[in-house]
Amino acid sequence: MRRVTLTQFLIEQQRAGRMTADLRLLLEVVARAAKAISVNVSKGALAGLLGEAGTDNVQGEAQKKLDVIANEILLQANEWGGHLAAMASEEVETVHQIPFDYPTGGFLLLFDPLDGSSNIDVNISVGMIFSVLRMPPSEQRATEESFMQPGREQVAAGYALFGPSTMFVLTIGHGVHAFTLDREMGSFIYTQPFMTIPEETREFAINASNARFWEKPVQRYIDELQQGKAGPRGVDFNMRWVASMVADVHRVLTRGGIFMYPMDEKCRHQGGKLRLMYEANPMAMLVEQAGGAASTGRERILDVQPHKLHQRVPVILGSRAEVERVNDYYREA
């Protein structure tokens, strides 16, 4: 069987006129950084990489050693290539400028270097999420303002999943394509073309320990699912919660379902739990490209106008019919 590498896939996308050489090279670098993070993640305790780094990130959360390492890998890998005007990371407070000794380019790169990091020390899947925007052509030097574009403006988005195998999942606005890392060869091999979220679903993902803090429409929706056959849905639903968004979304992309980190009383003061620019937007683009939907309950995630880099939003995404049902419950409330 002929094996197609990520490199070959990207060159073919460029030839087909779906992206520029600059974007292709940028995505190559992001994928290479994902391999480097994968190597570190998989070493675990052998490399002394588990546990806290002893520092807090911009959101005041304790950083794990691997959070810091993954962030450094991504920043360093992407600084010198000449494709970027600037970067923004969940782990860094302000815009990361390209050092003066390197050329700059026309794209902005955003990432959550290690998502689900509470899972690192217990050897459960974690991931890296990224999003690519265009640098507004009218601006000379990137500022936080340059990044304030709604998610529908993304030119590419994706994630790396560090699970039993390492995967790289990507969209450039023409479907969702997944690659599996061949560790011996050191290349990502094209394994799942055009991932499509199945319409029919019997699975939901939500941190149910927050049930008493949820808003009424979410309580109603989950309550109906939990009634199973006896309730208004007339069928039994199953629940899964990895607490690594990348792993949970990957399952939704693979076999359907709905993933929710909705607004609740605990996170209301900050607007939600998950970050719009590093988590919600890239995942929403992937899910829509796979035929699903992504909403805050009140609006389409990709239409949310950001007003700060580390903004948070409620997230409800997955199989279209389920997301629309939650939206309806919000409208009715």
- Our CB check for Mg ion shows the closer of 115 and 203 to be 115
Q: Which is nearer to ligand AHM, 83 or 112 (CB)?
A: 112
Q: Does residue 91 belong to the site contacting ligand AHM (CB under 6 A)?
A: no
- Closest CA relative to residue 134, chosen from 68, 86, 77, 179: 86
What is each CA distance from 265 to 214, 219, 300, 304, 313, in whole angstroms? 7, 13, 21, 21, 13
x/- track of binding to ligand AHM for residues 215-254 (CB under 6 A):
----------------------------xxx---------
Q: Of 38, 88, 111, 112, which lies in the binding site for Mg ion, with binding defined by CB under 5 A?
A: 112
**Between 86 and 245, whose beta carbon lies closer to ligand AHM?**
245
Query: Is 101 a known ligand-binding residue?
Result: no
Burial of 2 (0-12, 13-18, 19+ CB in 10 A): exposed
Q: Which of ligand AHM, Mg ion, none does residue 243 bind (CB under 5 to 8 Å by kind)? A: ligand AHM
Residue 275 Cβ, how far from ligand AHM at the closest point, in Å? Answer: 7
Q: Is 279 annotated as a binding residue?
A: yes
Size of the site for ligand AHM (CB under 6 A): 11
273 annotated as belonging to a binding site for a ligand: yes
Contact status: 207 vs ligand AHM (CB under 6 A): yes
| Closer residue to ligand AHM in complex, CB, 225/274 | 274
Q: How many C-beta neighbours within 10 Å does residue 82 have?
A: 14
Which residues of this chain interact with ligand AHM, rule CB under 6 A?
A: 61, 112, 115-118, 207, 243-245, 261
Which residues of this chain interact with Mg ion, rule CB under 5 A?
A: 112, 115
